[in-house]
């Protein structure tokens, strides 16, 4: 299994553009991000190059231009970032994080019902696989 690259916050913004539409040229990406950020052309090109080095983006030469495309899926990166966040702030456990959000955030009855539904589904999946609760 290949390792999902760690990407910075700025690199996330670039990856979102490629996850939305690939392949695309660096110039197209510059145009898209110039409208959303205050980054200069060279900053965006540097971020693209970093993502190529990290193997988050791939490229192929078409004539005189290069077309870039995502090599990793957004869901993979989200999963990896979530694991990193849990390790850094909650010792790798999701329970303290959920407890914090439930106690600190104002949740609507609909959101509470949805969370119950998700937890019930997870419990059912554990039963189906024969797993025991921790």
User: Edge-to-edge strand order for the sheet containing 24-25?
Assistant: 24-25, 65-70, 57-62
* Pairing of the two strands 57-62 and 24-25: unpaired
Q: How far is CA 41 from the centre of its chain?
A: 24
d(CA 26, CA 84): 30
Q: What angle do CA 92, 57, 15 make, to 5 degrees?
A: 65
- pTM, two decimals, is 0.76
The beta strands (E) that lie in 1-134 are given as 24-25, 57-62, 65-70
Token duo for residue 48: 């693209």
Model confidence over 59-115: pLDDT tens digits? 999 999 999 999 999 999 999 988 888 888 878 788 888 888 888 888 889 988 998
24-28, 106-110, 126-130: least confident range: 126-130
Model confidence over 38-48: pLDDT tens digits? 999 999 999 99
d(CA 128, CA 23): 41
């Amino acid at each position: 299994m290949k390792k999902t690259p760690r990407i910075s916050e700025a690199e996330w913004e670039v990856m979102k553009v490629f996850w939305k539409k690939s392949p695309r040229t660096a110039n197209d990406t510059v145009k898209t991000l110039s409208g959303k950020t205050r980054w200069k052309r060279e900053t965006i090109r540097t971020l693209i190059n970093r993502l190529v080095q990290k193997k988050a983006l791939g490229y192929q030469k078409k004539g005189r231009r290069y077309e870039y495309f995502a090599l990793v899926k957004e869901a993979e990166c989200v999963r990896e970032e979530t694991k990193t966040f849990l390790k850094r702030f909650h010792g790798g456990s999701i329970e303290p994080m959920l407890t914090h959000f439930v106690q600190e955030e104002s949740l609507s009855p609909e959101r509470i019902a949805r969370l119950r539904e998700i937890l019930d589904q997870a419990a059912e999946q554990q039963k189906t696989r024969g797993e025991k609760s921790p």
